[in-house]
């Protein structure tokens, strides 16, 4: 039996233990934590997570995309977007919406991309979030990371949920 190398393409899994989703939220959450705390060590953790999973050139490209994506969401939102610590396996409502957006962008489903984005805080500047999401989704796909499809039923439940009244990290 041969073991896969860290540079081998990883299979797409389902949300709890899928490599693409775990890397998406680890890097995203580290960027958000860095912005919230002003501690660049958080961004170093995002880099380390990416560099562990892929060749350095791929990690560099994704690192920049995550920077752009997190910064865009942070600056566009009227209220702060909630996120959990990098190692947490659960998703906040906004994180689930982001997951659905990245999935839709990878499948080039513009309606499915637009729908969850309208439920993010600051949706009046929606085009910025859509562009950043599409750019990140394409960068993830270029390195072989594909988000498992988000069910329409689960997305419907998430969009009906009331956003949290307080920011949680």
Question: Residue ranges per domain, the chain?
Answer: 19-160
Q: How buried is 107 (Cβ within 10 angstroms: 0-12 exposed, 13-18 middle, 19+ buried)?
A: middle
Q: In what helix (H) or strand (E) does residue 14 lie, and over which residues does it extend?
A: none
Residue range 126-159, pLDDT digits in tens: 889 999 999 999 999 999 999 988 877 677 766 6
Tokens of 67: 């920077």
* Residue 32's pLDDT band (cuts 50, 70, 90): very high
Predicted structure pTM score:
0.81
H runs (alpha helix) in 9-167 = 19-37, 41-53, 56-76, 93-106, 110-117, 126-142, 152-160
pLDDT value of residue 1: 40
d(Cα 115, Cα 119) in Å, to the nearest integer?
7
Mean pLDDT in residue range 112-133: 86
């Amino acid at each position: 039996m041969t073991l896969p190398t860290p540079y081998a393409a990883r299979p797409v899994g389902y949300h709890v233990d899928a490599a693409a989703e775990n890397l998406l939220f680890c890097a995203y959450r580290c960027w958000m934590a860095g912005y919230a705390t002003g501690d660049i060590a958080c961004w170093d953790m995002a880099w380390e997570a990416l560099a562990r999973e892929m060749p350095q050139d791929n990690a560099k490209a994704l690192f920049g995309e995550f920077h752009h994506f997190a910064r865009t969401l942070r600056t566009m939102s009227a209220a702060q977007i909630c996120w959990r610590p990098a190692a947490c396996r659960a998703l906040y409502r906004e994180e689930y919406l982001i997951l659905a957006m990245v999935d839709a962008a990878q499948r080039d489903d513009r309606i499915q991309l637009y729908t969850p984005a309208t439920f993010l805080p600051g949706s009046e500047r929606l085009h910025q979030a859509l562009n950043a999401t599409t750019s990140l989704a394409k960068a993830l796909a270029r390195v072989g990371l594909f988000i498992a499809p988000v069910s329409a039923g689960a997305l419907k439940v998430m969009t009906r949920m009331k956003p949290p009244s307080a920011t949680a990290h």
